[in-house]
Structure 1
Amino acid sequence: MGRKVTLATCSLDQWALEFDGNFERILKSIEIAKENGAKYRLGPELEICGYGCADHFHESDTLLHCFEVLKKLLESPITQDIICDVGMPIMHRNVRYNCRVIFLNRQILLIRPKMLMANHGIYREMRWFSPWTKFRTVEEYFLPRMIQQVTGQDTVPFGDCVLSTRDTCIGTEMCEELWHPSSPHIQMGLDGVEIFTNSSASHHELRKANQRLNLIKSATAKSGGIYLYANQRGCDGDRLYYDGCAMVVINGDVVAHGAQFSLTEVVSLEIILFILVGSELNATHHGHGSESKQCYRIKVDFSLSSNDDICLPIYQPITWNLHTPEEEISLGPACWLWDYLRRSGQAGFLLPLSGGVDSSSVACIVYSMCVQVCKAIENGDNQVLQDVRRLVGNETYFPQQPRELCRLIFTTCYMGSENSSADTCNRAKELASQIGSTHMNINIDMAVKGILGIFSLVTGKWPQFRANGGSHRENLALQNVQARVRMVLAYLFAQLSLWSRLKPGGLLVLGSANVDESLTGYFTKYDCSSADINPIGGISKNDLKGFLQFCVRQFQLTALKSILAAPPTAELEPLTDGQVSQTDEADMGMTYSELSVIGRLRKISKCGPFSMFCKLIHMWKDVLSPTEVAQKVKHFFRMYSMNRHKMTTVTPSYHAESYSPDDNRFDLRPFLYNTRWNWQFQSIDNQVANRVKGMRPNFS
């Protein structure tokens, strides 16, 4: 037998350091939970200040304002008669911790510090916080005076412990702790904890959601119990998008979940559950609980259930159909762009649209954003409607369709030159027409010749393309000057195009360099890939092609068919008989598919030149000889090391791929290399020679 309880978890679109907005969203989620009869409300990690405060966590102001928000939450009548679980940083004995503060009826029940830090990839938690290493230990925390005045408490429990209510036992995990081999829920489950909560700030990466879901399901699949998961959602001020997915799992089965992507600021998930008696939950682990140190229990004189509400423990598992990678690209970066746009104070986006796969992908993501906005308004989201009206400067505006909204907030421009083909111009124009953007054709020849005229006036020389007899240096410089002129013009039109139309505001410039091009540095530093933000900077070329095929089906954007069929080209060198003679893959010396493999080996598998060669001679043995593999590896590392400096100025990009070369947050490597890689390349040459002689490779 069991008792019926109602629990609530949520996804909140918090913004780093926006304490007033964060407070309102937290309070709203508690209000919704109470309206639906919940007795326990769980929120995301560090929700009071926002997870992405970064070095602001070092500032005493951040800690002060968090306590001020906590005081308002404790005083609010909305937070009464429900256990509230909120996240904030706390300094205990001069050490800063990432904490959960759990309170009920103006009394703080427990402060639970995070024990296992996320300190890899894009996470740097140990830069700001210390892990709580005192396993199963509780100390006294002396509350600030402003909190004492509300609660009447001088001290509260601080440490690794659980809550024991009149009818169940509740234990806490925090984000990274779920991913650890020795997760706290393991020992808590063996000690009779029945409800596990996880407050998270887990970011979106392509194909990651399934891994997260499997971890949560496995947490209760063996020992039983109820797992309540909360996550932040949205862009809180940086490259990440937190993708929600609030859920409830019982005994390894999903019984409720929220959307992974949404424009709604507060998504509260309430569900009626049945608490099983302990013998039923942990029957398969009889006797194991005594093997480990018992959890310290804080007794709470409160029930999550009615005393007379005894019933059979039943629940209905549901199937969760996770998004495909193409759908993730359509939704994740679109929601990230929307948060960035509405919070930046700008009036829209400007994109240099070349008619190629990359810039067309960015255009489609903006169109997808408009689709999501229109859907949210149609579903009654008043906050989204208010944001749209503020963006377009019309308090009565109501968007009827995505193309109409796209025309008002999205400007595209084709920046052609004498080296541009009519095909790319027409492709860009057709796509702009189908998505509804305000489109312009801009010829850059006059600007390029003006800059070259200045150079010629000073030096007395006029550089020539290689096709016209010029040297490699001349050829490269002439390509770069075109690319950099496009960046200057993009920012000029972003600042003044709305002014020229007698409309207020400016536009954010969107970049369109993909992750594979960033790996090799195949772009001009400070060209039109230099922008305010880049929604595809963490996405591979192959995934972008799949996304565009999805857009053809999903949005009926038939213009994309010819874009997909065309070979990728920068169009910076003279045409041959009116046709493009320059292609990206020829310039890079490898295909985009090969680059994706190399990128994953470099970052995820942590391969240097030698170990990468050793892996690739097996992976590519059916298509390339060892000598050819060696040439590919050497060529990549030469290009990578020569162009690594470009990553120091790369446009802030949506983080979607675990092999991103983003120097600023994710890929912390030097940018001045010996590009000859003498020792490493000699090791590769030795292995190639050994294979030619029929000797076994020496990997020692």
Structure 2
Amino acid sequence: MSTVRIACATVNQTPLDWTGNLKHIIASIEEARNTGVELLCLPELAITAYGSEDLYLSYWFPKKALKQLQTLLPYCQDITVAVGLPVRIESKVYNCMAVIENGELLGLVAKQFMAIDGVHYEFRWFTPWEAYKIVSLDFFGKPVPLGDIIFEKNGFKYGFEICEDAWRAAERPGIRLKDRHVDIVFNPSASHFAMGKTLQREELMKNSSILMDATYFYVNLLGNEAGRMIFDGEILVADKGRILLRNELLSFQDFQLCSFDYQKDLSNYPDITHQVDKNHEFVQASALALFDYLRKSKSKGFVLSLSGGADSSTIAVLVAEMVRRGMQELGLEKFIQKIGIPFQPTSDNPVKEFVGKIFTVAYQASNNSSTDTFESARLLAEDLGAVFYQWEIAEEVQSYTSKIETAIGRKLTWEQDDLTLQNIQARARSPIIWMLANINNALLLSTSNRSEGDAGYATMDGDTSGSISPIAAVDKYFILQWLQWAEKHLQYEGLKMVNSLQPTAELRPSENHQTDEADLMPYSLIVEIERLAIRDRRSPMDVYLILQEELGYSDQELKDYIKKFFRLWSRNQWKRERLAPSFHLDEFNVDPKTWYRFPILSKGYEEELHELDTL
């Protein structure tokens, strides 16, 4: 029976890193050839990195990508390689897969459907290709076909659906590939990570293999390419509705290669099943994102204002997990080489020792801070190995306050100036923690979460200050349960006290007993409202009618919470516009640069909220 050894390789690429990107591709080709692979598929836009943004619109960028493709040809002797790149034809740019065999370019397949939802804006850069259309491209003096074409290897026909192509139901190119009797379909992708998304992909791959009566190969990009989006590097093989191959996701490696011996009858292959744990996905994706961000920005570490509360404690654990997981997968020597920070361990715990080298935290106490949160921060920093500082900001707060009191001719009071007196404490912390980040040549980590982003429950230029905001796309309800999971499963003793405390900003005097949920609403309810209002784009009335049947709140209480959410959402868009870059980790986020755009100025759902009062 005829066979062909097929491999898929996921690569961790970086925009404008021409040398590094090509190096990863060549290394994967060499490993594939050395293991007897005959046909290798790499991801979409692997030559340039998917996250190259408006560089695609220039003339020189796609031209240089073609030059890189030409450079790649000699490395493809005795093997067939498919690799993604942008191709400009006159004024239009196309997202293509180039197929090379024995050092010759056989042709290019162009993507037919663009991803335009959520974090994707492909119509800004690329033009969809027409079904069945084939043109001739001048490739450095040699004409090669470009368009809707298929290929053959060892007597097997194969074709491509490029990422979004596969998600278009009856319109998808795969329907026509079936009519052309292909045996194998490749889906080279740049599909962003989101918790739980792998299950959607698996279902699509299984259904696709049945629909097309073909073996379906999926390969995704890997890592935090350009700052926000994370790629999980997933590789899947599906046949007759069964998953036959699946790799470990979110690797710290430069590339991963998985091979598969293909033949017509694959009934002897076992069906692979697995469970998805969002808690594990969250920490693994965040750890990889921090690792790539740190090394690609050429920074020397992280600085964090550690309050002892849930958000900053989550981020602190993620940094420690970045070190632990990176060293565990890569080994100490390769981890240090990749991260680019010199290190020679002097203890039997290099993970904790290296955390202390790159991670500095500070507890910045105001007059309203408690001993509980101080102890919570101190114990966690000690458990992780982070450098821990503490200082008081009362003098700075008093200095600012007295100056404004002199200027306006009156004393500030909690009764009249509550928000002002809260905010000045958060803002007074920002300059000094930035100083520490600058001294260390480190990235300052901002601690805002998605629930706070919804409601604007954050002080601009205070707790929003930072280079990156790792958890800004994750809701607070998830974070609170994740910390409980992390204490048990990651075994951080320092989380015990964190998990015993009720979330509070600690910006009002202690006798006020301030809590975050009393200031806002229950975090579990914020999640339900935001999913309907932001993810599903429902009106206030729709949100009320749906939640009225699902939750145990009184009608008036639910109406009041919904009104509060929409009013706070509307008036705080300007804050979301200014949040530090965040990682996309969940099915949606509220970053206007990557997922949900909303006007800075609006009437704030005034008429829509009034309708609730008419019920």
Fold-level match, TM-score > 0.5?
A: yes
Cα shift at 1:92: 2.1
Deviation at 1:529, TM superposition (A): 2.3
Q: Please give the alpha-carbon distance, in whole angstroms, between the structure 1 residues aligned to 2:48 and 2:423.
A: 43
Specify which of 211, 215, 224 is matched with residue 226 of structure 1.
215
Deviations 1:513-556 (A, max 9, x none): 11111111111111122211111111111211222122112222
**Secondary structure of the corresponding residue to residue 84 of structure 2:** strand
Q: Is residue 252 of structure 2 the alignment partner of residue 263 of structure 1?
A: yes
Shift of 1:32: 0.8
User: What is the identity percentage for the equivalent residue pairs of Structure 1 and Structure 2?
Assistant: 29
Per mean C-alpha deviation after superposition, the further-off stretch among 95-104 and 446-455 is 446-455
Deviation at 1:361, TM superposition (A): 0.7
The aligned counterpart of 2:60 is: 61
Counterpart of 2:473, as a letter, is: G
Contact 2:187/2:218 (<8 A) preserved: yes
Of stretches 556-565 and 633-642 in structure 1, the one that deviates more from structure 2 is 556-565
2:36 matched residue in structure 1: 37
Tell me, yes or no, if structure 1 residue 188 matches structure 2 residue 188: no
428, 448, 464: which one aligns with 1:485: 428
Distance 1:420 1:395 in 2: 38
* Structure 1 residue 682: Cα displacement: 2.6
Deviates more, 1:553-562 or 1:414-423: 553-562
Residue of structure 2 equivalent to 1:682: 610
CA displacement 1:619-668 (0-9 Å, x = unmatched): 23xx1233322212111111111212101101111111233111222111
Q: CA deviation at 1:230?
A: 1.3
RMSD, aligned CA: 1.8
Tell me if 1:573 matches 2:511. no
Q: Counterparts in 2 of 1:119-518, with a 5 A limit?
A: 119-133=116-130, 135-143=131-139, 147-148=140-141, 153=142, 155-182=143-170, 183-276=172-265, 313=266, 315-378=268-331, 383-388=334-339, 390-391=340-341, 393-394=342-343, 400-466=349-415, 471=416, 474-496=417-439, 498=440, 506-518=441-453
Once residues 568 and 92 of structure 1 are traced to their aligned partners in structure 2, the CA distance between those partners, rounded to angstroms, is 56
Whole-Å Cα distance in 1 between the matches of residues 104 and 36 of structure 2?
A: 20
Contact 1:85–1:100 (CA under 8 A) maintained in structure 2: yes
Q: Residue 547 of structure 1 corresponds to which residue in structure 2?
A: 482
Relative to structure 1, is the Cα distance of residues 396 and 80 closer, same or farther in structure 2, using a 3 angstrom cutoff? Answer: farther
Q: Is the 8 A contact 1:170 1:197 kept in 2?
A: yes
Q: Give ranges in structure 1 of 5+ residues lacking alignment.
A: 277-312, 499-505, 689-700
Please tell me whether the aligned partners of residues 243 and 260 of structure 1 are also in contact (alpha carbons under 8 angstroms): yes
Q: Give, in angstroms, the shift of residue 51 of structure 1.
A: 0.1
Measured against aligned partners, the alpha-carbon deviations of 1:590-634 in whole angstroms (never above 9, x if no partner) come to 1111000111101222112222222222223xx123332221211
Partner residue of 1:95? 92
Residue of structure 1 equivalent to 2:543: 612
- Tell me the secondary structure at the aligned position of residue 671 of structure 1: coil
Distance (Å, rounded) in 2 between the aligned partners of 1:400 and 1:564 = 26
Runs of 4+ aligned residues of structure 1 deviating over 6 Å after TM superposition are: 395-399
Matches of 2:465 and 2:205 in 1, distance apart? 39
**Structure 2 residue 580 is the aligned partner of structure 1 residue 631:** no
**Aligned 8 A contact 2:63 2:88 in 1:** no
SS of 1:57 mapped into structure 2: helix
Instruction: Give 2:70's aligned amino acid.
Output: K
Larger Rg: 1
TM-score (norm 2): 0.96
CA displacement at 1:223 relative to structure 2? 4.4
Verify the 8 A CA contact 2:63 2:87 in the aligned structure 1.
no
The alignment partner of 2:222 has SS state of: strand
2:283–2:321 contact (8 Å) kept in structure 1? yes
Determine if the alignment matches structure 1 residue 658 to structure 2 residue 590.
no
Contact 1:46 1:87 in 2 (8 A): yes
SS at match of 1:228: strand
The one-letter code matched in structure 2 to 1:627 is Q
CA apart distance, 1:314: 5.0
Q: Give CA-to-partner distance per residue, 1:224-270, whole Å, 9 cap, x none.
A: 32222111011111211101111222322222222211110111111
Change (3 A) 1:268 1:165: closer
Structure 1 residue 400, shift from structure 2 partner = 4.2
Report the Cα offset of residue 674 of structure 1. Answer: 1.9
- 1:114 partnered with 2:57: no
Q: Unmatched 5+ residue regions in structure 2?
A: none
Normalised TM-score (structure 1): 0.85
Distance 1:395 1:343 in 2: 22
Q: How far, CA to CA, are the matches of 1:81 and 1:174 in structure 2?
A: 25
The 1:604–1:96 alpha-carbon spacing in structure 2 relative to 1, beyond 3 Å, is same
Q: Is the 8 A contact 2:118 2:588 kept in 1?
A: no
Q: Which amino acid aligns with 2:82?
A: D
Q: Secondary structure in 2 aligned to 1:3?
A: coil
SS in 2 for 1:329: helix
- Please give the alpha-carbon distance, in whole angstroms, between the structure 1 residues aligned to 2:273 and 2:496: 32
Distance in 2 between residues matched to 1:640 and 1:88, nearest whole Å: 40
Return the alpha-carbon distance in structure 1 between the equivalents of residues 502 and 311 of structure 2.
Answer: 12
Q: How does 1:526-537 map to 2 (within 5 A)?
A: 526-537=461-472
